[in-house]
Amino acid sequence: MKETESSCLNEFPFLRPEMKHVSLYTLQEPLFSARLHQNEGIPLNETEKSQLSEQCANFINAHRSLNTYPSVDPTALRDAMANLYGVSPDCVEPTCGSSQGISLIAQACFDKGTAVSVVEPSFSLYKSLCLIQGSNYRSVPLRTDNFEYDMEAVLKARTSDVIILCNPNNPTGSVLPVASIAQLAASSKGLIVVDEAYIEFCPELASSVSLVSKHKNVLVLRTLSKAWGLAGLRLGALVGHADLIKVFRALKPPYSVTGLSEHLGVFALQNWQQNFAAKIAHVQAQQSKMLATLKMIPGVVMAPSRANFVCFVHPKSYDLELELRSKHNILIRVYGQKNQKDHASYGMARASVWSDDANDVFMAVAQKVLGS
Ligand SMILES: Cc1ncc(COP(=O)(O)O)c(C=O)c1O
C-alpha cells in the first residue's frame, strides 16, 4: 500500500496532517482466479447458493424490500448472533463486516497520543487507523524463532490505552489461550481488543466472548466473512459488556447493515448450523495437507498457521506467487519485497484453503518452486 503523496496535502490545506497515512487498499485480481490470497471462506456449494437465491427473491418481494430503509436496529441479526456466540443480545452490535467494528473502535478510542499496542505482524487496518487518528503506535512483536505469542511482551504492553490481539493471528495463525487474555484483561486498565475473525477454524480454542461479562475492558470482534463464507454480505459484530456495547451502538451510523444482508445472514445462521462442523472439518483437512506439504520442503520456515490458511517464510515466495498467478491463475499473498532482504517480513507468504483442485495445484507448484 502506498501512502498519500505529500504534494496532495499541500494542495488541500484543510486535510489533517495525519491524512498522509491514508492509503488506498488495492488488490490487483483477475475476475476468474482461485482466491487463496484473502483468507475467505471456501466457495459456497450448489445447495447453499440456491437457498440464498431463493431468500434474495423472498426479500425483494417482501413488503419491506429494497425501496425502504432497513430497520434502524437489526434486531433479528443481533438475536441470531447472540445465540451463536452464547451471549445476551445487549452484548452484541452487528456491523458492516468486522472492519466497521475496527473503525468504530478507532473512532471511539484512538485519540491523539493514545498508546495503541498491536501484536505484529497483524491485520494492516489496525496500524493505518492508528496513524490516521494520530495515536501512538506500539508494536509488540511475536517471538522471532517460531512466530508464537510472547506473553511476557504482551503483558508489558498492559499500560497501553488499547491492546490489540488477533486470535488466531493474521497472517501467522498464532493463538493465545483465553486464560492468558483474562490475565491481561485483569492486569490492565486499557481496552483489550480480541479479533476472532478466524476462531471458528480452531474449535479447540475457547473464545474470549466468555470474558465480557466479567471484564468490561474486553471487546471481541467476530465476522461472518471467513468460516461462514459470507464476506460479500459484509456482516460482523462487536461483542462486549452491555454498557460498552451501548456506546458503539450509538456511534455506529444508522443502516450500516443492509436489509438484504441481514435477511441472508439470519437465514444462514438459522439454517447452516448442522453442516457447519463438517465444513470446518473439510477446511481443516485441506489446511493440514497444505501445512504438511510445505513442512517437507527444505528451507521453508512455518508459522503456526492455526486457521484456514498456511503462513511460511522462504526467499523464493515471490517467485512462487508470480508463477501461481501468471501460469495457474491462483492468487496468494506475499509480504515484504523481493529486493528488501532486511525487511522484517521478507519472504513471508500466506495461502488460504480454496477449492480442493486449486489447493492441489498450489501444493505442487510450491514443491517445484520452493524445493528447487
Ligand atoms: C484479523 C482480521 N480482522 C478483520 C478482518 C476484516 O474482515 P471483515 O471486515 O470482512 O469482517 C480481516 C480480514 O481479512 C482479518 O484478517
pLDDT digits (tens, 9 = 90+) for 165-187: 999 999 999 999 999 999 999 99
* pLDDT above 70 for 5: no
* pLDDT above 80 for 27: no
The mean pLDDT value for 185-207 works out to 97
Report pLDDT digits (tens) over 80-100.
999 999 999 999 999 999 999
* pLDDT above 80 for 336: yes
Give the atom of ligand 1 at the shortest distance from the alpha carbon of 123.
1
* pLDDT above 80 for 242: yes
* pLDDT above 80 for 7: no
Give the atom of ligand 1 at the shortest distance from the alpha carbon of 224.
11
Q: Choose one of 27, 35, 98, 118 to mutate for the ligand 1 pocket test, by most ligand atoms within 8 angstroms of C-beta.
A: 98
260: CA distance to ligand 1 center in Å? 21
In whole angstroms, how far apart are CA 275 and each of 45, 50, 51?
11, 16, 14
* pLDDT above 70 for 143: yes
230: CA distance to ligand 1 center in Å? 12
Q: Residue 14: what pLDDT?
A: 87
* pLDDT above 80 for 367: yes
Q: Which residues line ligand 1 (CB under 6 A)?
A: 39, 97-99, 123, 166, 170, 195, 197, 223, 225, 231, 236
Q: Residue 144: what pLDDT?
A: 92
64: CA distance to ligand 1 center in Å? 30
Average pLDDT of the chain is: 95
Instruction: Yes or no: say if 290 and 353 are a contact pair by the CB < 8 Å rule.
Output: yes
Closest CA to 196 of 42, 86, 74: 86
Q: Residue 11: what pLDDT?
A: 87
Report pLDDT digits (tens) over 345-356.
899 999 999 999
* pLDDT above 90 for 10: no
For 202: left if phi > 0, alpha if psi spans -120 to 50, otherwise beta; the answer is beta
The mean pLDDT value for 34-53 works out to 96
Q: Tell me the pairing of strands 92-96 and 235-240.
A: antiparallel
The mean pLDDT value for 229-240 works out to 98
Give the atom of ligand 1 at the shortest distance from the alpha carbon of 96.
9
Alpha-carbon gap, residue 203 to 55, rounded angstroms: 29
Give the atom of ligand 1 at the shortest distance from the alpha carbon of 99.
9
Alpha-carbon gap, residue 259 to 367, rounded angstroms: 46
Lowest model confidence (mean pLDDT) among 62-66, 145-149, 225-229: 62-66
Q: Choose one of 223, 234, 257, 305 to mutate for the ligand 1 pocket test, by most ligand atoms within 8 angstroms of C-beta.
A: 223
* pLDDT above 60 for 2: no
Give the atom of ligand 1 at the shortest distance from the alpha carbon of 101.
9
* pLDDT above 80 for 28: no
371: CA distance to ligand 1 center in Å? 32
Q: What confidence tier does 29 reach under pLDDT thresholds 50, 70, 90?
A: confident
The mean pLDDT value for 206-235 works out to 98
In whole angstroms, how far apart are CA 126 and each of 105, 155, 235, 278?
10, 19, 19, 32
Q: Residue 1: what pLDDT?
A: 46
Look at 302 and 63; give whichever has higher pLDDT: 302
Q: What cell was used for 1?
A: 500500500
63: CA distance to ligand 1 center in Å? 33
The mean pLDDT value for 273-288 works out to 97
The mean pLDDT value for 63-89 works out to 94
Report pLDDT digits (tens) over 112-134.
999 999 999 999 999 999 999 99
Rg (CA), the chain: 21
* pLDDT above 50 for 44: yes
pTM of the predicted protein model = 0.95
Alpha-carbon gap, residue 289 to 280, rounded angstroms: 14
